Each structure stands twice: as C-alpha cells, then as structure tokens.
C-alpha cells in the first residue's frame, strides 16, 4: 500500500497514512457536499501519495510491483507512467468514471539559493519516493445533473477507487 508516514521533521511535511487521512477527509467534506445547493454535473477527487524508499533502485522495484502494464527495469531512470483505466460506476447506471493515475519515481531535496550564489546549497541528501497522483472523476460526456442522493455516494466511490489504487497500484 502506498502511504506516507508522518514526518514533520523530514524533507517535507506529510499529512499521514492514506487510510487515516482519507477517512478524515471524507468525514469532513461529505456533509459540506450534501448541503450544496447547486447543480452538479461532474464530480472529482484527486490526490498525490508518496511512499518513501531508501534508494532509487527501491523505488523502481516498488513501481515494478505496482504497475502491470509496464515492464519496469532497474536500469530505467525518469519513469513517469500515466494511464486512464475507465470503469463503470457502481452507484449510477451508465455513468463512466475516469480513473487517471500517474506513477513516478522522484527525488526530493531541500536547498538554499542565494542571490549572489547561482549554485544551490543542499541542506540534506535527496530523499527518494514512489509518487502516485490520482485524478478520479466522472466523464465530461455525462452532461446531466446528478440526483442529490447520488452526489455523495459517487464522491465516496471516487475516493474508494483511489484507495484501491493506493493499496494495489495500477488497477484495470
């Protein structure tokens, strides 16, 4: 499962593990969505998850486990793989959901740059991560206004699909 441990003193500040944060997020946002008094024609959920690894080769090994459509080799560099595996909604008959996922291996460094010195000074060694960006949304072609009773259920469905990607990687 891709998740991000809480590391307030690391190279970035993280919110926490996917399972805890996504549940809190849904609990905080669903009541607000239920109260919206506007016509809703599209619904989307997006997020970026990071999994810290020790070395770049570890990131590629993990990407190899997470991706079924790409043959990941340890000698690869700068891998970015983006795919939209559409699926039918379990909530609304005939509604199609875009399940756009982007997988990558990234290095993150903190550095300082001063006006009089062109070269950045690294504050710490680079940290290696597997990155998963998700953009799950209802297709634009739908065009209809969603029934009020479906809006939160579709929203929760999109987040559940993201949870599948977080746990299993690429899902067809």
In this predicted structure, the answer to whether residue 71 has a pLDDT above a threshold of 90 is yes
Whole-number pLDDT of residue 146: 96
Domain-wise residue ranges, the chain: 51-168
Whole-number pLDDT of residue 13: 56
pLDDT tens digit sequence for 5-16: 434 344 455 678
Locate all alpha helices (DSSP H) within the chain, ordered by sequence.
18-35, 56-66, 148-168
Whole-number pLDDT of residue 9: 45
Between CA 3 and CA 169 the distance in angstroms is 12
pTM score, whole prediction: 0.84
* Span 137-163, average pLDDT: 95
Whole-number pLDDT of residue 110: 74
């Amino acid at each position: 499962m891709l998740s991000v441990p809480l590391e307030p003193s690391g190279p970035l500040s993280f919110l926490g593990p996917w399972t805890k944060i996504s549940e809190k997020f849904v609990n905080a946002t669903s009541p607000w969505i239920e109260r919206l008094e506007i016509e809703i024609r599209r619904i989307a959920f997006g997020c970026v998850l990071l999994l810290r690894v020790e070395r770049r080769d570890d990131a590629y090994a993990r990407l190899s486990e997470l991706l079924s459509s790409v043959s990941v080799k340890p000698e690869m560099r700068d891998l970015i793989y983006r795919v939209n595996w559409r699926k039918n909604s379990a909530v609304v008959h005939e509604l199609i959901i875009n399940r756009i996922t982007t997988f990558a291996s990234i290095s993150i460094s903190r550095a300082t740059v001063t006006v009089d010195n062109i070269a950045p000074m690294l504050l710490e060694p680079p940290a290696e991560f597997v990155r998963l960006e998700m953009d799950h949304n209802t297709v634009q072609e739908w065009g209809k206004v969603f029934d009020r009773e479906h809006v939160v259920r579709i929203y929760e469905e999109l987040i559940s699909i993201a949870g599948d990607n977080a746990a299993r990687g690429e899902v067809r």
